[in-house]
Amino acid sequence: MTNLSTWEQFWYYLANNGSYVLSQFTRHFLISIYGVLIAAIVGIPVGILIARRRRLSAVVIGAANVIQTVPSLAMLSIVMLGLGLGVNTVIFTVFLYSLLPILKNTYTGMTSVDKTILDSGKGMGMTSFQILYMVELPLALSVIMAGIRNALVVAIGITAIGAFVGAGGLGDIIVRGTNATGGGAIILAGALPTALMAIVSDLVLGFLQRRLEPKKA
C-alpha cells in the first residue's frame, strides 16, 4: 500500500470499508442530532420564558455563556465523571454546547418582534397563548432556526472528539488514522465525511430557515 499516493489510498480505503464508514457516519449524525434535539426541547421554552421575564435573561444566558467557555475536551471529561464512558456522555456534552445558540437565538427572536404587532394582536382580543403561537413564534422562527443551525454544525465537530470516551462515530476513524503509521488516508476518510456532514446539514437547515422567514408585505 505504501507505493500508492495518499489520495489513491483514500479511495482504496473507502472502496474496502465503505459500509463501515457509512455506519459510523450515521452514528455520528445521530449523536449530534440527539444532542441538538434535546437542547432544542429544553432551550426553546426556556428562551421564551426569559424573553417574558427579562430579569432572568441575564442570569440564564450568562450561565449558558459560561458553559460555552469550557473547552470541549475538558467538558467531555467532566461529564464523563458523571455519566461514565459511552455515547450518552457525548450526547449530553453536545446538549450543553447547543444550549447557548438555541437559547440566545430564541430570546433574540422573541424580543425583536415589533411591539406594535403585539399590541394589535392584543387589540384583536387574542389570548397570550394565541399571541405566542400565532404571532411571536412565526416571526421568531427563522432566528430560532438559525440558532439550531449554528448548534448542529458545532455539534458535529464536538461529536468527533467523542471518540476519546469510546462513543464511536467518525472520530473513531480519525483517531485510528493518527495511531497508524502513514495513516494519512485513514485520517482523511474520517475527516472529510465529518466536514461534508457539517456543510450539507448547514445547507439544508439554511434552506429551511429561508423558507421559514416571514414574508415581507
Kindly list the residues in this chain that would bind another protein in the complex (CB under 8 A): 1-2, 9, 12-13, 16-17, 20-21, 26-27, 30-31, 34, 38, 42, 55-56, 59-60, 63, 79, 82-88, 91-92, 95-96, 163-164, 166-168, 172-173, 175-176, 179-181, 185-186
Cβ at position 194, least distance to another protein in Å:
16
Contacts of 151 (CB under 8 A, 6+ apart): 36, 39, 40, 97, 98, 101, 102
Tell me whether residue 83 or residue 212 sits nearer to another protein (CB atom): 83
Tell me whether residue 65 or residue 127 sits nearer to another protein (CB atom): 65
> What amino acid occupies position 170?
L
Tell me whether residue 20 or residue 142 sits nearer to another protein (CB atom): 20
Tell me whether residue 20 or residue 111 sits nearer to another protein (CB atom): 20
- The CA distance from 59 to 209, in Å, is 28
Cβ at position 88, least distance to another protein in Å:
5
Contacts of 157 (CB under 8 A, 6+ apart): 72, 194, 198
Contacts of 47 (CB under 8 A, 6+ apart): 102, 103, 104, 105, 106, 107, 109, 110, 144
Tell me whether residue 16 or residue 120 sits nearer to another protein (CB atom): 16
- Report yes or no: 24 and 173 within 8 Å, Cβ to Cβ: yes
- The CA distance from 86 to 128, in Å, is 43
Cβ at position 210, least distance to another protein in Å:
29
Cβ at position 68, least distance to another protein in Å:
14
Instruction: Give the three cell numbers for residue 18.
Output: 465503505
Cβ at position 27, least distance to another protein in Å:
6
Tell me whether residue 26 or residue 128 sits nearer to another protein (CB atom): 26
- Report yes or no: 164 and 73 within 8 Å, Cβ to Cβ: yes
Cβ at position 189, least distance to another protein in Å:
9
